[in-house]
């Protein structure tokens, strides 16, 4: 009963982590695709999107089963855990700095306007527009690659690759539908809060799986994951509070940021 | 952001390999090398602790402390850079 309960908790955290991470990345990709489609036409932009999605699907199909069947679980967990730890710490660091006002928040409207200005400089051509195709392809492929890494790593180590893929697919569908409805108003998505949540979960899974890889004995087994999320959440909250205090006290010498940023 | 690193000349394969390497370097290390090094150190310390079976439970409590330390160090570094 307890084992089933802890496994269900771990699975829920996994699904939420994959879904949120995929949502954040897809919002960023959609901003680029919308900018390309609006300025240079939809045909080449959608061809770029379709090609990128096929390339990402090939990566999942090629590497997913290979990782599951041919790499020893212990080694897989160690490498994946370390990868998730690095990845999650990068997300969490950015989210903490943004929440504290030391890094400007990710502004989809500003990024959309920037892409539109860049793409408008170069006039669109008849037939296939390679600029539109390439920008849309790169946007979707690079943002999607992060999703693929998260799906493959979390999915394979927890033996829930199918579930992780479904969670990512649901996020892609949701963002696409909402994006088509609200069109350019992607800035309404609370990206920083979502990135903070994803960062916490990735760091927690990273700690757990890398620990499993070197045979750490986790009290409570899978239940350690939500506990780690809570511990890291408290640390992140304390860091944000300390940095906000430092920003508010000019004598400390930490200046707030105002420039819009990517990433 | 524009990439100000020099273009690599030579055969197409060499350029592809260099571009592939740069991509993964940016993906994993980027402008926060302390996080990459910190994660490697954390895993290394846990591996050493787990060589002794009696310390495997201790490692479970050491792990989040080390990870939180790496995060704090990196955030502190960013705040210091902004203050300069």
Of the candidates A207, A224, A254, the beta carbon closest to that of B82 is on A254
Q: Quote the domain boundaries for residue B35.
A: 29-83
Q: State whether B60 and A224 contact (CB < 8 Å).
A: yes
**What is the pLDDT at residue A72?**
79
- Contact (CB, 8 A) for A205 and A188: no
Segment B56-74 mean pLDDT: 96
Task: Determine, yes or no, domain membership for A235.
Answer: yes
Task: Determine, yes or no, domain membership for B18.
Answer: no
Task: Determine, yes or no, domain membership for B11.
Answer: no
Task: Determine, yes or no, domain membership for A103.
Answer: yes
Task: Determine, yes or no, domain membership for A113.
Answer: yes
The count of structural domains within chain A is: 1
**What is the pLDDT at residue A3?**
54
- Contact (CB, 8 A) for B59 and B51: no
**What is the pLDDT at residue A9?**
67
- What's the helix, strand, coil split of chain B in %, to 5? 75, 0, 25
**What is the pLDDT at residue A258?**
47
Task: Determine, yes or no, domain membership for B39.
Answer: yes
The count of structural domains within chain B is: 1
Regions of chain A short of the pLDDT cut 50: 258-263
Residues 63 to 122 of A: which have CB under 8 A from any B CB?
Answer: 78, 81-83, 85-86, 89-90, 92-93, 96-97, 102-103
**What is the pLDDT at residue A34?**
82
**What is the pLDDT at residue A261?**
44
Q: Quote the domain boundaries for residue A92.
A: 2-252
* Cβ-based contacts of A219 with chain B (< 8 Å): 57, 60
Which tokens belong to A207? 């700690």
Predicted confidence (pLDDT) at residue B52 exceeds the cutoff of 60: yes
């Amino acid at each position: 009963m307890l084992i089933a309960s802890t496994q269900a908790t771990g699975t829920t955290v996994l699904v939420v982590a994959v879904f949120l991470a995929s949502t954040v990345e897809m919002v960023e990709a959609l901003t680029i695709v919308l900018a390309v489609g609006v300025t240079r036409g939809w045909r080449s932009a959608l061809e770029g999107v379709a090609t990128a999605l096929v390339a990402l699907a090939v990566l999942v199909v090629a590497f997913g089963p290979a990782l599951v069947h041919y790499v020893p679980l212990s080694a897989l967990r160690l490498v994946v855990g370390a990868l998730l730890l690095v990845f999650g710490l990068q997300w969490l660091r950015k989210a903490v700095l943004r929440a504290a006002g030391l890094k400007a928040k990710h502004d989809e409207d500003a990024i959309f306007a920037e892409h539109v200005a860049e793409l408008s400089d170069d006039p669109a051509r008849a037939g296939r527009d390679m600029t539109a195709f390439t920008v849309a392809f790169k946007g979707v492929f690079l943002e999607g690659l992060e999703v693929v890494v998260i799906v493959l790593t979390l999915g394979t180590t927890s033996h829930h690759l199918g579930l992780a893929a479904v969670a990512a697919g649901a996020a892609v569908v949701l963002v696409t539908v909402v994006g088509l409805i609200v069109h350019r108003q992607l800035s309404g998505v609370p990206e920083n809060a979502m990135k903070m949540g994803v960062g916490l979960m990735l760091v927690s899974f990273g700690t757990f799986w890398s620990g499993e890889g070197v045979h750490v004995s986790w009290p409570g087994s899978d239940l350690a994951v939500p506990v780690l999320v809570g511990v890291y959440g408290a640390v992140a909250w304390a860091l944000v509070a300390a940095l906000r205090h430092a920003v508010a006290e000019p004598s400390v010498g930490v200046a707030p940021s105002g420039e819009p940023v990517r990433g | 952001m524009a990439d100000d690193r020099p273009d690599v000349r030579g055969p197409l394969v060499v350029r592809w390999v260099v571009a592939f390497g740069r991509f993964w370097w940016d993906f994993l290390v980027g402008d926060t090398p302390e996080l990459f090094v910190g994660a490697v150190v954390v895993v290394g310390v846990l591996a050493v602790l787990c060589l002794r079976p009696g310390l495997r439970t201790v490692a479970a409590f050491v792990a989040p402390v080390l990870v939180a330390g790496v995060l704090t160090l990196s955030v502190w570094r960013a705040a210091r850079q902004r203050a300069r």
